[in-house]
């Protein structure tokens, strides 16, 4: 019973900060995208492609979550956007409190997108709402077809499933159809995108979807 009460208190505190994040986003008319995946699924590489191929008229910022180092943040800083590095130093996920604090350091005026790259983990991040408009979970074809069934919450809470690294399909045993079927079983109506940040296949569809989500927020 004590454990249940503790979790309720943690979730209640997180929700309070998530609402504060939502208020700031709504006031500034910014679309926030929370990106989840296991380690190495390609979140940073997808963001690099997004920033390099997206319209120069679209203004973006990013919050990078990692246990240690600022390697991913430095990769995105090359594109001249505001980037905040959050090191959890052992914690397996970001919280809305962390996001709210990071947003204080970002110039929000005129911003269109705020990308949050969560800690690489298919368990903990799924349980913490950060105030985002859209949650995207990546699954690379190199991880195998069992991940959606093994870690359902990471995918059930996702508005969009991105199947990444599809340029490697000839070299691995992975079924795009099976992944989509598993996802639809637990998230009816969710969007599925298959892409390769390496070859560029599917990136245009990803960029178009981002603009559609942004349009919904700014309407």
Query: Which pTM value belongs to this model?
Result: 0.94
Is residue 108 predicted with pLDDT exceeding 80? yes
Comparing CA positions, the residue from 114, 124, 47 lying closest to residue 91 is 124
Mean pLDDT of the chain: 95
Is residue 215 classed exposed, middle or buried when 0-12, 13-18 and 19+ CB atoms within 10 A define those classes?
exposed
For the chain, domain boundaries: 2-218
2-218 belongs to which homologous superfamily? Answer: P-loop containing nucleotide triphosphate hydrolases (3.40.50.300)
Residues 194, 214: Cα–Cα separation, whole Å = 20
pLDDT above 90 (res 202) = yes
Confidence grade of residue 1 (pLDDT, cut at 50, 70, 90):
very low
């Amino acid at each position: 019973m004590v454990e249940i009460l503790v979790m309720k208190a943690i979730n209640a505190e997180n929700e309070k900060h998530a609402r504060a994040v939502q208020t700031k986003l709504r006031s500034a008319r910014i679309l926030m995208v929370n990106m989840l995946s296991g380690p190495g699924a390609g979140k940073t590489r997808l963001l690099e492609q997004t920033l390099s191929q997206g319209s120069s008229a679209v203004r973006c910022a990013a919050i990078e979550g990692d246990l240690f180092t600022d390697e991913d943040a430095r990769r995105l800083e090359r594109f001249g956007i505001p980037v905040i590095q959050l090191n959890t130093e052992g914690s397996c996920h970001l919280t809305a409190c962390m996001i709210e604090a990071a947003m204080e350091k970002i110039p929000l005026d005129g911003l269109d997108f705020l990308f949050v790259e969560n800690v690489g983990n298919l368990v903990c991040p799924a349980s913490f709402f950060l105030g985002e408009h859209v949650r995207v979970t990546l699954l690379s074809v190199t991880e195998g077809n069992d991940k959606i069934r093994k870690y359902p919450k990471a995918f059930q809470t996702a508005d969009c499933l991105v199947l990444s690294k599809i340029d490697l399909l000839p070299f691995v045993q992975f079924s795009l159809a099976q992944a989509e079927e598993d996802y639809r079983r637990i998230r009816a109506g969710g969007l599925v995108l298959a892409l390769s940040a390496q070859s560029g296949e599917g990136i245009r569809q990803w960029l178009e979807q981002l603009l559609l989500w942004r349009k919904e927020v700014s309407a």
